[in-house]
Amino acid sequence: MAEKNLDFDQYINRYGTRSIKFDFAKEYGKPEDLIPMWVADMDFKTSSYVVDALKETMDFGVYGYSDGGKAYFEAVKGWMKKRHNWDVEESWLIKTPGIVFAIALAIRAFTNEGDGVLIQTPVYYPFSATIKQNNRKVVRNSLVLNGNHYEIDFDDFEKKIVDNKIKLFVLCSPHNPVGRVWTEDELRKIGEICLKYNVIVVSDEIHFDFVFEGKHKVFATVDERFLPISIICTSPSKTFNLAGLQVSNIFIANPELRDKFTKLLYSTGYCELSLPALVACETAYEKGEEWLEGALSYIKSNTEFLKEYLKENIPAIKPVKQEGLYLIWLDFSGLGFSDAEINKKILEEAKIWFDEGTMFGTEGSGFQRINVACQRSTLEKALKNLKKTFG
């Protein structure tokens, strides 16, 4: 059997499918006629192998208590080795119904109320929300925009750790929304500072399969001394568009950290992933590679198209250099409008729903995040609307 879902141009009507991106504009206080390009999921069907495996499971009709067992682990292990050159051990793996859930657990397990938790802003907004919801303090190491490329201020990173007695740092690698694929050298600098001050690193690597420039390195593999301070968060959800199935694989090699984390996990009453989550992850990692390669080249060509279109038609809107992700960080500041004006124009005139830059931190002022994992026809429509509004 061959992969059947390789036509990424095929329009898929997601309205009326319980999609947060498409069906809940009103609930989010937005007009209902917008082109939705915000939530980080893809408008593509996942691998047909995954669809077929789920169908077979669902057709069976008995959905009793289930477990992934050895086959699940072997599939995950195979992916980590093949795509990320990482040898993982079965004892390190903890399955959770999502990465944000795992980050929240780590915050609770390894810090106390009132403690600071370090993040690098602008960053995926649930990081700060989760820190606050757990009554911890958000400590920001602001990323620095150098030309169209973000960099880390390592002096500030170290100072923030010392001044705030940081015990936990949440790394976003590759970084959402600024699109950086951190280099080995940058990761090494981060790791050395964290080792020096006994900081645990929660490395959220959910976007690790979307790399267009540079090379992703799993944080724990940069140096063997980093493995014992690492909580590596991975998932097939971004890679294969499975977010609605809630599946993530967290790796903690250090038995002490793992014990604390799992004790807290099981104290919630949680037991195991759902059956569809297990089936989808195992199948995607075993058979989904051809589909992923297709998705990657489609996303790459969408990104190129966007860049060319903006350069020719609205040069004042500048995409930041995108090394990874299917999300692009667009700089609107050259247009000379305030954030409120940009947001209003995008929503009311261009009729598009992006993620507003300031949601990711004050450093996101002047920016918008666009999701290009959509059909080219959707992207073209949105760009034409942008041209009419800002061109």
Ligand X SMILES: Cc1ncc(COP(=O)(O)O)c(C=O)c1O
Residues forming the site for ligand X (CB under 6 A): 40, 98-101, 124, 172, 176, 204, 206, 235, 237, 243, 248
If the CB atoms of residues 24 and 337 are measured against ligand X, the closer one turns out to be: 24
Q: Which two tokens stand for residue 217?
A: 């390195």
If the CB atoms of residues 250 and 386 are measured against ligand X, the closer one turns out to be: 250
If the CB atoms of residues 5 and 130 are measured against ligand X, the closer one turns out to be: 130
Beta carbon of residue 169, minimum distance to ligand X (angstroms, whole number): 14
Beta carbon of residue 96, minimum distance to ligand X (angstroms, whole number): 8
Beta carbon of residue 75, minimum distance to ligand X (angstroms, whole number): 18
Beta carbon of residue 219, minimum distance to ligand X (angstroms, whole number): 14
Beta carbon of residue 237, minimum distance to ligand X (angstroms, whole number): 5
- In angstroms, rounded to a whole number, what is the distance separating the alpha carbons of residues 41 and 240? 9
If the CB atoms of residues 47 and 248 are measured against ligand X, the closer one turns out to be: 248
If the CB atoms of residues 98 and 179 are measured against ligand X, the closer one turns out to be: 98
What is the distance, to the nearest Å, from the Cα of residue 381 to the centroid of all Cα atoms in its chain?
Answer: 25
If the CB atoms of residues 204 and 356 are measured against ligand X, the closer one turns out to be: 204
Neighbours of 255 (CB within 10 A): 11
Beta carbon of residue 124, minimum distance to ligand X (angstroms, whole number): 4
Beta carbon of residue 262, minimum distance to ligand X (angstroms, whole number): 18
If the CB atoms of residues 237 and 358 are measured against ligand X, the closer one turns out to be: 237
- In angstroms, rounded to a whole number, what is the distance separating the alpha carbons of residues 315 and 56? 50
Beta carbon of residue 116, minimum distance to ligand X (angstroms, whole number): 20
Q: Which two tokens stand for residue 348?
A: 């009311």
Beta carbon of residue 337, minimum distance to ligand X (angstroms, whole number): 27
Beta carbon of residue 233, minimum distance to ligand X (angstroms, whole number): 7
Neighbours of 290 (CB within 10 A): 15
The contacts of residue 145 (CB under 8 Å, 6+ apart) are 320
If the CB atoms of residues 232 and 243 are measured against ligand X, the closer one turns out to be: 243
Q: Which residue is nearest to ligand X (CB)?
A: 98
If the CB atoms of residues 177 and 366 are measured against ligand X, the closer one turns out to be: 177
If the CB atoms of residues 21 and 167 are measured against ligand X, the closer one turns out to be: 21
Q: Which two tokens stand for residue 275?
A: 């059956």
